[in-house]
Amino acid sequence: MGFSSHMKHLMKKEFRQIKLMIRFKDFRLGLMSDITPVLPKSTIFSHHGMNVVIGRDVKLGKNVKIYHNVTIGNRRGIGKDKARDIIIGNNVTIYTGATILGNVKIGDNAVIAAHSLVLSDVPPNMVAMGAPAHVIAKDEKPQK
């Protein structure tokens, strides 16, 4: 192997390492989607928005707090889910690992518990928990 071919090989290897570093950096920042929804400036991401996926049909209210590993998106082509956007109200908290799918409206001041699967509307000032999620009042204790 000549000097020039050896240099080409090293440059290719170096380029691959740089590409991997960039991909790793993007992954760490949670920038894994080409779909960019419009997010209000008051949206708060816990843990830098790590692994948060927000579809383009999502409309977020003010002061929404989203923890890591949250997915919010539409279920295209399933039932009546073709027409409406997902609407998240003001002052909503969505905890770690929650998934919100379909034509769902989350009311103001609602809380989505960790690892919940929300497939239907959540009224204002309520808590959604479980998979699939059921709604309880904020001061109500969950049934055992």
Beta bridge partners of 85: none
The reply to whether 6 belongs to the active site is: no
Helix residue spans in 3-142 (DSSP H): 3-28
Q: Which of 9, 68, 115, 134 is catalytic?
A: 68
Q: How many angstroms separate the CA atoms of 3 and 135, rounded? A: 69
At residue 131's C-alpha, the angle toward residues 128 and 137, to 5°, is 20
Q: How many angstroms separate the CA atoms of 142 and 9, rounded? A: 62
Beta bridge partners of 44: 65
Catalytic residue ranges: 68
